[in-house]
């Protein structure tokens, strides 16, 4: 893909784990620049290449394609130890990133006391089921102007002073209930860890602007998803970054006109990990069947995911929020063999009225009654189907209703985990890339 008018964002439309990784894998080879713009090692994405399984948390997925230049944007928070391990793991598997990785000097560093604070809070009454990786506190320190940026690593002489600000605050919050490593030890360890990364730190905004102007194709790889967005998700049960479209511009420094298409990714059903509203959740044997067949256990923490029917209300909200041009619908095959499949097509409030938009507060979410529409299931398997004509009629009706409810056309249908299990329908925004 070489035309200047072909930059694409891939964003999650539910609560994460939609299967964005498969699409990023399929697509990244077609792009020159692959960019992460928010989140940290709370994201997890497993790729299988030549029979080798590689887990990526912070390195952009284009790592496996030698032609891709990888960018870690300013909106990301990085755990250096984890990042170095990922790089080492990639290197030993034959994926050398030298000369094709740039980390924003404005990205923030996740520090040991951020992790301690995250885990301490998760042990208390206000637990929200975070990944415990220090993501929230790292973003808090950023907003409180007490964060450590990657660029600060180039100034070891002032590093202890930068770290001290947040360190002292966290100590007060913890009130002696958790032991922190001494500040000197944190600083020394960081100086040591940072050494191999120093040559990779730079001005990613300038890099991306130049790449865009000269016509390089750019793929923006979202982490987490719209319903976990700090503004537009199910607050307070969200992550601490903007995982929807706004985060892309804040987290790269590129203007909106540098983006041309948005691919929104959703599972054919819904999952979420951690606490929080989930109106279409199935707490019965059907939910368990989705979990087992779909192998719905977290790649980052191993936690069993909560499972439920496709929720068209949240997906429509996510499509509107992000201006989604086409839907990537994943894991349709997991729903094979269900006698009936449901879809949440509306919400009623506590008084039986219809909700036109998503509630803002947890108290209002607690009142939501889902309106479930039932569809006849399909007997014939969809696993591995690569031609839309081969889909059972019932599966076709289900998908048509799903796209209709989401007000967005289908761009890709995944019918299994392998790269070749799925198809790009005629007229899809992905047609020039994947057909
Ligand atoms: P945090 O991002 O670790 O602060 O976690 C906040 C919420 O976001 C929790 O419910 C997590 O389970 C959820 N979360 C964070 N990252 C992911 C992800 O990559 N997939 C799914 N859920 C996530």
Select from 56, 130, 235, 240 the residue to mutate for testing ligand 1; criterion: most ligand atoms less than 8 Å from CB.
130
Instruction: Give the rounded distance of the alpha carbon of 75 from its chain centre.
Output: 13
Query: Hey, what's the torsion of the CAs at 109, 110, 114, 118, to 10 degrees?
Result: 140
Sign (positive or negative) of CA dihedral 208, 72, 45, 132: negative
CA-nearest of 58, 54, 55 to 73 is 58
Residue 135 CB–ligand 1 contact under 6 Å: yes
The model carries a pTM of 0.96
For the question of residue 45 being annotated catalytic, the response is yes
Q: Which atom of ligand 1 is nearest to the CA of 276?
A: 10
The rounded distance, in Å, linking the Cα atoms of 391 and 396 is 6
Residue range 261-272, pLDDT digits in tens: 999 999 999 999
Residue 190 CB–ligand 1 contact under 6 Å: no
Residue 413 CB–ligand 1 contact under 6 Å: no
**pLDDT mean over 81-105:** 94
DSSP E strands, 183-281:
201-202, 218-221, 261-267, 270-272
Hey, whose CA ends up nearest to atom 9 of ligand 1?
130
Beta strand 108-109 with 77-78: parallel, antiparallel or unpaired?
parallel
The rounded distance, in Å, linking the Cα atoms of 229 and 38 is 11
Residue 326 CB–ligand 1 contact under 6 Å: no
Q: What is the DSSP string of 1-22?
A: ---SS--EEEEESSSS-SSHHH
Residue 45 CB–ligand 1 contact under 6 Å: no
What does the pLDDT read at residue 4? 45
- When mean pLDDT is compared across 168-177, 376-385, 393-402, the lowest value belongs to 168-177
> Rounded to the nearest whole angstrom, what is the distance from the C-alpha of residue 225 to the centroid of ligand 1?
9
- C-alpha distances (whole Å) from 126 to each of 24, 41, 42, 174 are 35, 22, 19, 15
Residue range 170-211, pLDDT digits in tens: 999 999 888 899 999 999 999 999 999 999 999 999 999 999
Residue with tokens 């952009």: 60
Q: Kindly tell me if the per-residue pLDDT of 349 is higher than 80.
A: yes
Residue 133 CB–ligand 1 contact under 6 Å: yes
Sign (positive or negative) of CA dihedral 219, 223, 228, 229: negative
Residue 414 CB–ligand 1 contact under 6 Å: no
- Residue 226 makes CB contacts below 8 A (sequence gap 6+) with 11, 12, 13, 14, 232, 233, 243, 244, 314, 317, 318, 321, 322
Mean pLDDT over each residue of the chain, to the nearest integer: 94
> Rounded to the nearest whole angstrom, what is the distance from the C-alpha of residue 34 to the centroid of ligand 1?
22
144: left (phi over 0), alpha (psi -120 to 50) or beta: alpha
**pLDDT mean over 137-143:** 98
Residue 17 CB–ligand 1 contact under 6 Å: yes
Hey, whose CA ends up nearest to atom 16 of ligand 1?
42
- Residue 398 makes CB contacts below 8 A (sequence gap 6+) with 268, 335, 341, 343, 375, 378
Residue 294 CB–ligand 1 contact under 6 Å: no
DSSP E strands, 295-339:
306-308, 310-311, 326-330
Q: Which atom of ligand 1 is nearest to the CA of 275?
A: 10
Residue range 142-171, pLDDT digits in tens: 999 999 999 999 999 999 999 999 999 999
What does the pLDDT read at residue 46? 77
Length in residues, the chain:
435
Residue range 302-320, pLDDT digits in tens: 889 999 999 999 999 999 9
What does the pLDDT read at residue 32? 96
For the question of residue 17 being annotated catalytic, the response is yes
> Percent of the chain scored above 90 by pLDDT?
85
Residue range 240-283, pLDDT digits in tens: 999 999 999 999 999 999 999 999 999 999 999 989 999 999 99
Select from 127, 132, 224 the residue to mutate for testing ligand 1; criterion: most ligand atoms less than 8 Å from CB.
224
The rounded distance, in Å, linking the Cα atoms of 341 and 116 is 43
- Residue 140 makes CB contacts below 8 A (sequence gap 6+) with 240
The rounded distance, in Å, linking the Cα atoms of 161 and 279 is 46
105: left (phi over 0), alpha (psi -120 to 50) or beta: alpha
Q: Kindly tell me if the per-residue pLDDT of 112 is higher than 50.
A: yes
- C-alpha distances (whole Å) from 374 to each of 300, 310, 348 are 33, 11, 17
Hey, whose CA ends up nearest to atom 20 of ligand 1?
16
- Residue 264 makes CB contacts below 8 A (sequence gap 6+) with 11, 12, 13, 315, 318, 319, 322, 324, 326, 327, 328, 408
Contact 58, 197 (CB under 8 A): no
Q: With both helix axes pointing from N to C terminus, report the angle between 135-143 and 156-174 in degrees, rounded to the nearest 10.
A: 110
> Which one is catalytic: 25, 45, 152, 261?
45
DSSP state of 305: P
- Residue 123 makes CB contacts below 8 A (sequence gap 6+) with none
Q: Which atom of ligand 1 is nearest to the CA of 303?
A: 12
pLDDT band of residue 48 (cuts 50, 70, 90) is low
Q: Which atom of ligand 1 is nearest to the CA of 43?
A: 19
């Amino acid at each position: 893909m070489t035309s200047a008018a072909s930059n694409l964002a891939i964003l999650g439309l539910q609560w994460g784990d939609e299967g964005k990784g498969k699409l990023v894998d399929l697509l990244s080879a077609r792009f020159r620049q692959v960019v992460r713009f928010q989140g940290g090692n709370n994201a997890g994405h497993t790729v299988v290449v030549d029979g080798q399984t590689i887990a990526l948390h912070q390195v952009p997925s284009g790592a496996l394609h030698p032609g891709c230049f990888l960018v870690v944007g300013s909106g990301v928070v990085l755990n250096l130890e984890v990042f170095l391990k990922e790089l080492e793991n990639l290197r030993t598997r034959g994926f050398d990133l030298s000369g094709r990785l740039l980390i924003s000097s404005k990205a923030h560093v996740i520090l040991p006391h951020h992790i301690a604070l995250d885990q301490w809070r998760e042990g208390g009454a206000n637990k929200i089921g975070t990944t415990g990786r220090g993501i929230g506190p790292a973003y808090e320190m950023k907003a409180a102007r007490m964060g450590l940026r990657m660029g600060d690593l180039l100034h070891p002489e002032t590093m202890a002073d930068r770290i001290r600000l947040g360190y002292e605050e966290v100590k007060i919050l913890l009130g002696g209930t958790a032991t922190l490593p001494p500040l000197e030890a944190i600083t020394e360890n960081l100086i040591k860890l940072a050494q191999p990364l120093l040559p990779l730190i730079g001005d990613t905004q300038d890099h991306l602007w130049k790449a865009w102007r000269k016509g390089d194709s750019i793929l923006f790889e979202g982490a987490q998803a719209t319903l976990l967005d700090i503004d537009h998700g199910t607050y307070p049960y969200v992550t601490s970054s903007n995982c929807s479209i706004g985060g892309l511009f804040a987290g790269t420094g590129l203007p909106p006109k540098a983006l041309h298409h948005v691919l929104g990714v959703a599972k054919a059903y819904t999952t979420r990990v951690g606490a929080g509203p989930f109106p279409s959740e199935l707490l019965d044997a059907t939910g368990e069947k989705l979990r087992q067949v779909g192998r719905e256990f977290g790649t980052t923490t191993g936690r069993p995911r909560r499972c439920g029917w496709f929720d068209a209300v949240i997906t429509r909200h996510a499509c509107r929020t992000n201006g989604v041009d086409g839907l990537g619908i994943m894991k349709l095959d997991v729903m094979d063999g269900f006698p009936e499949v449901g879809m949440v097509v509306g919400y009623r409030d506590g008084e039986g009225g219809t909700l036109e938009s998503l509630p803002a507060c947890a108290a209002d979410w607690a009142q939501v009654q889902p309106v479930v529409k039932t569809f006849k299931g399909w007997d014939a398997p969809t696993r591995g189907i690569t031609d839309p004509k081969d889909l059972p009629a019932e599966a076709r009706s289900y998908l048509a209703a799903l796209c209709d409810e989401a007000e967005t056309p289908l761009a890709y249908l995944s019918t299994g985990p392998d790269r070749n299990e799925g198809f790009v329908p005629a007229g899809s925004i992905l047609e020039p890339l994947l057909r």
